[in-house]
């Protein structure tokens, strides 16, 4: 899949870091291999070595510049045609606030933690919220602070 140039944050010999093209959540990044494979075992030693440094550097810059309450890093997906990639999903305090204000997700959280009778959530519930509300929702929630474009610019500058 082609990444629109305005979403590319940083590029190396083996990897591309871009803002998630379908997400309105500022700072939702992707680290994708330039090699069309879904297996780490297919990557060269150089690509694998480069990957470790990029994972760490991306986390460091996101935490420094964006200050999310949590930063989820994961590999999801299994559809053919997509190179192996990792998601960097910032969970800002205001994302958690939106989650708790939405009755649909509060029911999910209350169901999951009914035994303990506490109001808590976990990464899976917040990931679902972010994917549904900032990715699939035709009218995503308003985002306070930096825009997607501003975040891309800041991160591009930081990677230089």
| Torsion angles phi and psi, residue 94, rounded to 5 | -70, -25
CATH number at residue 49: 3.30.428.10
pLDDT of 90 reads 98
Stretch 53-73: mean pLDDT, rounded?
A: 97
The pTM of this model reads: 0.90
pLDDT of 38 reads 87
The token pair at 14 is 């083996």
Query: CA end-to-end span of the chain, whole Å?
Result: 25
pLDDT of 2 reads 86
- Angstrom distances, CA of residue 18 to CA of 28, 76, 90, 119, 159: 9, 16, 14, 34, 12
How many other β-carbons are positioned within 10 Å of the β-carbon of residue 113?
Answer: 15
> Is pLDDT at 117 greater than 50 in this prediction?
no
pLDDT of 110 reads 57
Task: Quick: pLDDT tens for 37-48.
Answer: 888 999 999 999
Query: By residue range, what is the domain housing residue 63?
Result: 5-159
Number of structural domains, the chain? 1
User: Do 91 and 130 contact (CB within 8 A), yes or no?
Assistant: yes
What is the C-alpha separation between 136 and 127, in angstroms, rounded?
12
Task: Quick: pLDDT tens for 124-160.
Answer: 889 999 999 999 999 999 999 999 999 999 999 999 9
């Amino acid at each position: 899949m082609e990444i629109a140039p305005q979403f590319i944050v940083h590029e190396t010999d083996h990897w591309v870091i871009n803002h998630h093209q379908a997400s309105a959540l500022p700072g939702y990044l992707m680290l994708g291999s330039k090699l069309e494979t879904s297996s780490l075992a297919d990557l060269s030693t150089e690509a694998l070595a480069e990957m470790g440094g990029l994972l760490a550097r991306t986390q460091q810059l996101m935490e420094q510049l964006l200050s999310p309450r949590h930063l989820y890093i994961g590999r999801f997906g299994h559809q053919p045609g997509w190179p192996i990639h990792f998601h960097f999903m910032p969970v800002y305090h205001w994302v958690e606030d939106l989650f708790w204000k939405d009755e649909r997700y509060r029911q999910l959280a209350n169901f999951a933690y009914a035994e303990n009778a506490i109001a808590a959530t976990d990464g899976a519930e917040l990931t679902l919220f972010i994917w549904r509300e900032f990715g699939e929702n035709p009218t995503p929630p308003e985002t306070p602070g930096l825009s997607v474009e501003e975040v891309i610019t800041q991160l591009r500058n930081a990677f230089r």
